[in-house]
């Protein structure tokens, strides 16, 4: 059973690790594509800058040769006018990449694909230039004896691609979580059906022989048989009847009652005390004032019997078991301690999983059943409160307290 539990746990880890590897590989591929697109955008801007430089030179040559009679100021005006037209046409060809062109003094000459506010546009563009300069190296353009600089930012499409890996990773992890929860929910539902079906069938199978035994006991009472012997037989038959009733209540909603916790624990311990090794001592420590909790006493007795039996097994039939209760206002803490082998901290949760056991002949269902009864029928909790290897273990049960009767 322990091997089956470990194999199931290994499958879950394998599923998670595989999903994580797929997610990381997907993000890595997407990032590679983003980096390639980023490099292509830079090349586009560089080609754009080189084109502006070449066209400027051509414009300068054409303007100079147009009319030699024009004075220098007129030539310069024509040059600037033609250059502005060319620059505007080039920048209009870029519809996705935000671009700002500045001169040596840092003044903005042109910009594209940037939404500029009506108030303080120059200040806004200068801040944009500073931001662009942090993310990308500027591209230099030499126009005759002057220099101009191109600053740019990633396009909106590239920005979306940069965020896509994170969105993709989030979606993948959500898928993993949903799949994992669905798998756990399916397994838990299947376990519940197995529990209920097994319990009902066990109760049904026990019903006929118990009825027959009860009839035989009544028949033997009329014969000359030692009354003490008949009394012990009757107790065992009644015990079988109680066990059958417990199994029949699994899967149903047994009505809880307001029960004295000390009395319920004492009854369960009294039964177990007659059937365990004489080398095991059981001590019960309860406050003087009675503590009442809402419970099904029959099922709760099953809990105590299971925990005491596990403690006896952990101590190899020799040691001490201590059961104590603490009144904490709205809650009651019931601690069951032993002086057994102890449980490793890594196994504190695992011991309650169906199929987990360290016994060669165990089914690993006892503590799982205990947890189910406490959580489903008593709305409480059970956990390993503390444990040390070679010293012992303390299980703690939390129950809701009711007012004193």
For residue 183, is pLDDT > 90? no
362 lies in a domain? yes
For residue 9, is pLDDT > 70? no
Looking at 106, 137, 154, which one is the last position of a domain?
Answer: 154
Q: Are residues 350 and 365 part of one domain?
A: yes
Max mean pLDDT range (33-37, 185-189, 390-394): 390-394
Of the candidates 352, 333, 339, the residue with the CA atom closest to the CA atom of residue 389: 339
250 lies in a domain? no
pLDDT at 405: 47
Q: Are residues 123 and 23 part of one domain?
A: yes
Q: Are residues 397 and 272 part of one domain?
A: yes
- The Cβ-side half-sphere exposure at 222, using a 13 Å CA radius, reads 4
Q: Are residues 319 and 396 part of one domain?
A: yes
115 lies in a domain? yes
User: What CATH code is carried by the domain that includes residue 291?
Assistant: 3.30.565.10
Q: Are residues 382 and 366 part of one domain?
A: yes
Mean pLDDT throughout 349-371? Answer: 75
- 269 within 8 A of 311, measured Cβ to Cβ: no
Residues 6 or more apart from 253 whose CB is under 8 A from it? 377
Q: Are residues 281 and 362 part of one domain?
A: yes
Q: Are residues 179 and 100 part of one domain?
A: no
Looking at 105, 123, 154, which one is the last position of a domain?
Answer: 154
pLDDT at 43: 77
Of the candidates 206, 188, 299, 189, the residue with the CA atom closest to the CA atom of residue 249: 299
Q: Are residues 138 and 28 part of one domain?
A: yes
For residue 390, is pLDDT > 80? yes
Q: Are residues 223 and 101 part of one domain?
A: no
pLDDT at 2: 47
- 231 within 8 A of 251, measured Cβ to Cβ: no
Q: Domain containing 114: what range?
A: 2-154
Phi first, then psi: what are they for 395, rounded to 5°?
A: -95, 135
146 lies in a domain? yes
Q: Are residues 396 and 301 part of one domain?
A: yes
Q: How many domains does the chain have?
A: 3
358 lies in a domain? yes
236 lies in a domain? no
Per-residue confidence band for 142, with pLDDT thresholds at 50, 70 and 90: confident
240 lies in a domain? no
Q: Are residues 128 and 9 part of one domain?
A: yes
Looking at 121, 154, 187, which one is the last position of a domain?
Answer: 154
Strand partners, 112: 99
pLDDT tens profile 275-325? 788 899 999 999 888 899 988 888 898 899 889 988 998 898 899 999 999
197 lies in a domain? yes
Q: Are residues 119 and 13 part of one domain?
A: yes
């Amino acid at each position: 059973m322990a091997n089956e539990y470990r194999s199931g746990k290994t499958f879950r880890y394998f599923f998670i690790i595989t999903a994580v590897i797929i997610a990381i590989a997907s993000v890595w591929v997407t990032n590679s594509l983003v980096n390639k697109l980023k490099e292509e955008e830079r090349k586009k801007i560089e080609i754009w800058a080189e084109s502006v430089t070449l066209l400027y030179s051509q414009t300068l040559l054409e303007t100079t040769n147009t009319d030699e009679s024009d004075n220098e100021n007129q030539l310069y005006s024509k040059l600037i006018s033609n250059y502005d037209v060319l620059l505007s046409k080039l920048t209009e060809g870029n519809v996705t990449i935000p671009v700002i062109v500045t001169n040596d003094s840092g003044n903005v000459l042109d910009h594209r694909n940037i939404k500029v506010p009506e108030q303080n546009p120059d200040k806004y563009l200068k801040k944009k230039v500073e931001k662009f300069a942090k993310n990308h190296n500027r591209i230099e353009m030499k126009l005759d004896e002057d220099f101009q600089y191109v600053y740019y930012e990633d396009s909106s499409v590239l920005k979306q691609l940069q965020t896509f890996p994170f969105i993709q990773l989030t979606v993948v992890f959500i898928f993993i979580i949903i799949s994992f929860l669905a798998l756990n929910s399916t397994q838990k539902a299947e376990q519940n059906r197995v529990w209920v079906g097994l319990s009902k069938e066990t109760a049904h199978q026990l019903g006929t022989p118990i009825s027959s035994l009860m009839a035989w006991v009544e028949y033997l009472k009329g014969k000359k048989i030692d009354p003490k012997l008949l009394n012990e037989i009757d107790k065992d038959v009644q015990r079988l009847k109680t066990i059958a009733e417990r199994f029949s209540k699994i899967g149903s909603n047994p009505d809880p009652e307001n029960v004295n916790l000390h009395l319920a624990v004492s009854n369960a311990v009294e039964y177990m005390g007659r059937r365990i090794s004489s080398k095991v001592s059981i001590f019960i420590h309860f406050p003087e004032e009675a503590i009442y909790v809402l419970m099904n006493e029959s099922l709760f007795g099953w809990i105590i019997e299971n925990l005491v039996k596990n403690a006896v097994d952990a101590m190899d039939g020799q040691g001490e078991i201590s059961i104590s209760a603490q009144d904490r206002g709205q809650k009651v803490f019931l601690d069951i301690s032993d002086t057994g082998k102890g449980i490793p901290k890594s196994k504190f949760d695992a011991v309650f999983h169906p199929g987990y056991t360290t016994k060669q002949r165990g089914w690993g269902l006892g503590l799982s059943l205990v947890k189910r009864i406490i959580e489903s029928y008593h709305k409480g909790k059970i956990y390993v409160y503390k444990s040390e290897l070679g010293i012992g273990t303390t299980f703690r049960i939390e129950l809701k307290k009711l007012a004193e009767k």
